[in-house]
Amino acid sequence: VQVFTGHRVQHNSGPGPTKGGIRYHQSVTLSEVKALAMMMTWKCAVVGLPYGGAKGGVTVNPKLLSQAEIQNLTRRYTTEIGFMLGPNQDIPAPDVNTNPQIMAWIMDTYSMNIGYSVPAMVTGKPLVLGGSPGRNEATGRGCVFAVREAAKVLDIDLTSSKSVVQGYGNAGSVAARLMSETGSKVVGVSDSTGAIYNPNGLELSAVDAWKAET
C-alpha cells in the first residue's frame, strides 16, 4: 500500500472564487503550493480577472504509476478536498503532469459526490465535457505573446532570431511551435530528462516524435 500526501491552498478569495492548477510531482511540498497559490493571486490581479489565487499538488511521481493508479489517486484526492471546491468557491486546472483526462476524473468525482454534474468546477477538461477550444495551447500562446511584446521593446526582429525553450512539455512544446511560426529559429529544447541543441534549427515534428517514444 502506498500513501501519498496532497495539498490544496487558497490564498485569497477576496476578488472572487480562487483559481489555480493541480500538479503531480515527487518534489511537491506544502511550502511550494503556498507560494504558487500566492503567485496565482498576483497573476489574476495583474490582468484584472475576478479570481483569487489557489494551487494544489500531490507528492507523487506519476511516471511510476499506471493509468488506473493515477485515476484512483485523482479520485481520492478530489474527494478529500471536495469541500473546498466548486464553481463559486475554488476552480482547479491542469498543471505539471496533469492533463484533460485528470480534470475529467476530478469533475466526475466531484459531481458524483454532490449528486449532479458540475462542468464549471474545473477548467482544462476535454472538449466533450465542456472544455474550451484552444485551452491546451493557451499557456504556450501566452508565452509567445509576452515574447513578442518584449521583442518590440528591445527592438528584436523575431523573424531573424534564435530561440531556446526550457521545459518541452504541454506549454513549452506549443511555445516552440508558435515561436517557429513567427520566423524564429528554435535551436534548443529541454525537459526533465535532458536537452538537445542544433545551431541550424530543430525539426519540431521530429522532436515531438522522439519525446513521445522516450
Torsion angle of C-alpha atoms 128, 130, 133, 136, degrees rounded to 10: -80
* 162 carries an active-site annotation: no
CA 46 to chain centroid: 19
The contacts of residue 138 (CB under 8 Å, 6+ apart) are none
The catalytically annotated residue of 55, 63, 125, 211 is 55
DSSP letter, residue 129: G
Closest by Cα among 141, 30, 17, 40 to 88? 17
How many C-beta atoms lie closer than 10 Å to residue 46's C-beta?
A: 8
Q: Is 196 helix (H, G, I), strand (E, B) or coil?
A: strand
How many C-beta atoms lie closer than 10 Å to residue 174's C-beta?
A: 21
Q: Which three cell numbers stand for residue 157?
A: 526582429
Residue numbers annotated as active site = 55
